[in-house]
Homo-oligomer: A and B are copies of this chain.
């Protein structure tokens, strides 16, 4: 499935007349190897570790491309940094965010999704995406 994403990106790149570069390959690889919710800084450091000389600006620019290509999605948490998560084909998950230790638990709920569709329909709204974040204290932080 990592392969699939690379293909997706290549197709996107081709359709947009974008070039395939060493940096973009590296950044895509690192992004795919990463867990949820990477910040640009984190990604940049990982990239630099194995490949010094890649600039931060390139990471920013490339992540934007991933978003455009539908591989990544911006997640705004409350830590001052824009974070990026993987977009899995079809699948969608929401987040329980612990305000104590910043842990993020993911979950999926079919019924909630359906209710959202209903609500949207009722308002003549065409859903493109959504975001549900529940803030609170996780099992170990609530003491």
Interface residues of A (CB under 8 A from B): 74, 76-78, 96, 98-99, 105, 107, 109, 111-112, 115-116, 119-120, 123-139, 142
Contacts and interface: CB of A to CB of B under 8 A. Distances in A.
A129 B136 contact: yes
B130 A135 contact: yes
Contacts of A128: 99, 135-137
A130 B134 contact: yes
Given A74-B78, A112-B115, A120-B136, 16 more contacts: A96-B119, A96-B123, A96-B125, A98-B125, A107-B119, A109-B115, A120-B134, A125-B134, A126-B136, A127-B136, A128-B136, A129-B134, A130-B133, A130-B134, A130-B135, A132-B132
Given A96-B120, A119-B107, A136-B120, A126 B142 contact: yes
A138 B124 contact: yes
Nearest to A111: B115
A119 to B, nearest CB: 5
9 contacts: A96-B119, A99-B128, A105-B123, A111-B115, A120-B134, A124-B142, A126-B142, A128-B135, A132-B132
